[in-house]
Amino acid sequence: MESSEINYSSFAEAFESQISSQVAELRPGRVVHGTVSEIGKDYVSVDIGFKTEGIVPVEQFKNHEGKLKNALGDKVEVYIVHLENDFGQLILSHEKAVQKRVWAEVEKVFEDGGLVHGRVVQKVKGGLQVDIGIPAFLPGSQIDVRPHRNLDKFIGEEYDFKVLKITREKGNIVLSRRAVLMQERDELRSETLKVLSEGVVMEGVVKNITDYGAFIDLGGIDGLLHITDISWGRINHPSEKLSVGQSVPVVVLKYDEEKERVSLGMKQLKDDPWLEIHSKYPVNSTIKGRVVSLADYGAFVEIEEGVEGLIHVSEMSWTKKVRNPGKIVSAGDEVEAIVLGLDDEQRRVSLGMKQLMPNPWKDLADRYPSGSRVTGKVRSITEFGIFVEIEDGIDGLIHVSDFSWTKRIKDPSEIAELYNKGDEIEAIILDIDPDGERLSLGIKQLESDPWDTLSQRYPVGSKVKGKVSSITDFGVFVEIEDGIEGLIHNSQLDIKKDEDPRERYSEGMELESEVTAVDREERRISLSMRAISRREEKQDMAEFMQDSGGAVTFGDLLREKIDTSDE
């Protein structure tokens, strides 16, 4: 235990000795590097190797957006303010450390004639304040090569500056951006003049815009781009094509070296488009353009600079009657169209939009094959049927004969009782005539034809019951189910040979008969009441013969046959 205590004591003494040595090198006014060890709400703790960690106001570590520039573990430079204040705290300053370093750097740049980089932070009396690590002053006369009334647009911007003056004692630094721009301009001007000549194509920046044109900075020297030389097309103001700060290609039209006047052109970089209009945009070719204006009769489209086309309202839709082109397109829209014609004198192109879309009647059969189910709204009601819109601009006719398999509509007023304009109904595609732009629809086809299965439901020889629906000279019609009528011919009625059926039967009377024939194609079913009577007689005869032991002669049977035929 003693040996252990002795070793611990020796180690502690050595550690204290080392700490004392390091502390001796730390003193107020020194700039040292430390490590961020903790970030609090108000203070940041920095470890500089002292016996305690130093504190720095958290605001000193925030950038201009209010965000912390450092994180835990980052190395930072700090200025020692107090090794121990009244509370025994190590007080440090990151701000003073940066200022001390920046002052040294700015003094070096000033001596060497170099540049410093900074950010404009606010307006002050006579100019702007710039943050270059420490506050510096930018006089209004040194902001640009030309004066500016509105200095707010410079706030937040970053630039390079020349240091004009330093007063360390007063903490003043005076900067100039104008000197930097003038130097750059002189260098650019020298290079520009080496290549400047008529016919030369150059890249310039729009410096200023007037009613008659725009001034283009070619690099240290300005040229005038007149409004008539901006575009082959007609423009009302240069601002329609140009904006300040925009980079544009121009060609030197004229250069007066003595007066240093330069005339520029933009449209000359391209040939007059109307010289090759027929080869570039032949009839039936497809173009893309921008809608530049609207009129009651159509929309004007700029295909390219100097080339405009008109899309007439009649060429906008296959199915819609367009009265207001603004409901189809808007100014500024990018559109596609087909060239319909060219007018060299008016320098206009006739265009069509609907031609890019398939005629809906042409491919209607592909989209709605026969037998397809469709849903649409009743558009109009006529005495021969109803028109139903199945898609935008496409109407189909449901004829009265296709309303029901079994019910016949004899009076047009019945249609109005069944359907109203605007009703949504379902129908079947029956036939499409693209050339005639006609579409036939059916409602009854939504259900199977009851006549298709009639022979299975009412096979020949089966008994049926029904009510008399009508009486004619040749027989009686009996409704055996909803909409299905069968005919009992006079010869098959249970009446005497010369008897009038109207004396025996009346409408609504229920009769029983036997199915004798079903004709699906003619949609007829034949019935017989006599067939039932004969079957009953035969059955009675068979029972009689069985009861009489078969003692019936051939003469008896012959007389029965003769009696039956007389009926």
The CATH number that applies at residue 465 is: 2.40.50.140
**Residue 208 Cα distances to 215, 221, 235, 367, 463, angstroms:** 5, 13, 17, 58, 103
- Band of residue 6 on the pLDDT scale cut at 50, 70, 90: very low
pLDDT at residue 161 is higher than 60: yes
Which residues are registered as beta bridge partners of 469?
A: none
Instruction: Report pLDDT digits (tens) over 494-503.
Output: 888 788 888 8
338-362 average pLDDT score: 88
pLDDT of res. 551: 52
Question: Are residues 201 and 256 part of one domain?
Answer: yes
| Residue recorded with tokens 């060497």 | 112
454-482 average pLDDT score: 88
> How do strand 484-489 and strand 475-481 relate by DSSP bridges?
antiparallel
Assigned domain for 8 exists: no
Assigned domain for 83 exists: yes
Instruction: Report pLDDT digits (tens) over 306-344.
Output: 888 999 998 998 777 788 999 999 999 999 999 999 988
Question: Are residues 377 and 346 part of one domain?
Answer: no
Question: Are residues 442 and 390 part of one domain?
Answer: yes
Q: How many distinct structural domains can be found in the chain?
A: 6
Question: Are residues 465 and 438 part of one domain?
Answer: no
Question: Are residues 461 and 397 part of one domain?
Answer: no
Assigned domain for 340 exists: yes
pLDDT at residue 15 is higher than 50: no
* Residue 179: φ, ψ to 5°: -60, -40
Tokens of 438: 């006609």
Question: Are residues 329 and 376 part of one domain?
Answer: no
Q: Which of 90-99, 281-290, 358-367 is least confident?
A: 358-367
Assigned domain for 541 exists: no
Question: Are residues 254 and 216 part of one domain?
Answer: yes
Instruction: For residues 514 and 527, give the distance between their C-alpha atoms in angstroms, rounded to a whole number.
Output: 5
Of 446, 467, 488, which one is at a domain's C-terminal end?
A: 446
More confident residue, 282 or 546: 282
Instruction: Report pLDDT digits (tens) over 256-280.
Output: 888 888 999 999 998 888 888 999 9
Neighbour-count burial of 115, counting CB atoms closer than 10 A to its CB (0-12 exposed, 13-18 middle, 19+ buried) = middle
Q: What single string gives the DSSP state of each residue in 55-102?
A: EEEGGGGB-TTS-BS--TT-EEEEEEEESS-TTS-EEEEHHHHHHHHH
DSSP symbol at 468 = E
Assigned domain for 421 exists: yes
373: left (phi > 0), else alpha (psi -120 to 50), else beta?
beta
* Residue 217: φ, ψ to 5°: -85, 115
Q: What single string gives the DSSP state of each residue in 406-437?
A: S----STHHHHHH--TT-EEEEEEEEEETTTT
| Residue recorded with tokens 């690099």 | 219
pLDDT at residue 178 is higher than 80: yes
399-425 average pLDDT score: 82
Assigned domain for 556 exists: no
Domain that holds residue 301: 273-356
Instruction: For residues 242 and 264, give the distance between their C-alpha atoms in angstroms, rounded to a whole number.
Output: 14
pLDDT of res. 431: 92
Instruction: For residues 308 and 294, give the distance between their C-alpha atoms in angstroms, rounded to a whole number.
Output: 12
**Residue 74 Cα distances to 37, 246, 371, 509, angstroms:** 8, 43, 78, 109
| Residue recorded with tokens 């090794």 | 83
Question: Are residues 232 and 286 part of one domain?
Answer: no
- Band of residue 2 on the pLDDT scale cut at 50, 70, 90: very low
- 488 neighbors 476 (Cβ within 8 angstroms): yes
- Band of residue 122 on the pLDDT scale cut at 50, 70, 90: very high
Question: Are residues 235 and 202 part of one domain?
Answer: yes
511-518 average pLDDT score: 89
Question: Are residues 334 and 280 part of one domain?
Answer: yes
Tokens of 381: 């009601």
- 564 neighbors 493 (Cβ within 8 angstroms): no
Of 215, 245, 269, which one is at a domain's C-terminal end?
A: 269
The rounded percent of the chain whose pLDDT value lies above 90 is 33
Core vs surface per residue 149-173: b (16+ CB within 10 A) or e? eebeebeeeebebbbbebeeeeeeb
pLDDT at residue 3 is higher than 50: no
- 319 neighbors 359 (Cβ within 8 angstroms): no
Of 143, 158, 181, which one is at a domain's C-terminal end?
A: 181
**What contacts 198, CB < 8 A, 6 or more positions away?**
252, 253, 254, 255
What is the torsion angle, in degrees rounded to the nearest 10, for the CA atoms of residue 274, residue 280, residue 282 and residue 287? -100
Question: Are residues 131 and 77 part of one domain?
Answer: no
Instruction: For residues 479 and 500, give the distance between their C-alpha atoms in angstroms, rounded to a whole number.
Output: 21
Assigned domain for 219 exists: yes
Tokens of 363: 């491919």
CB atoms within 10 A of CB 433: 12
pTM: 0.37
Assigned domain for 230 exists: yes
pLDDT of res. 558: 55
Closest CA to 373 of 360, 357, 388: 388
Question: Are residues 490 and 474 part of one domain?
Answer: yes
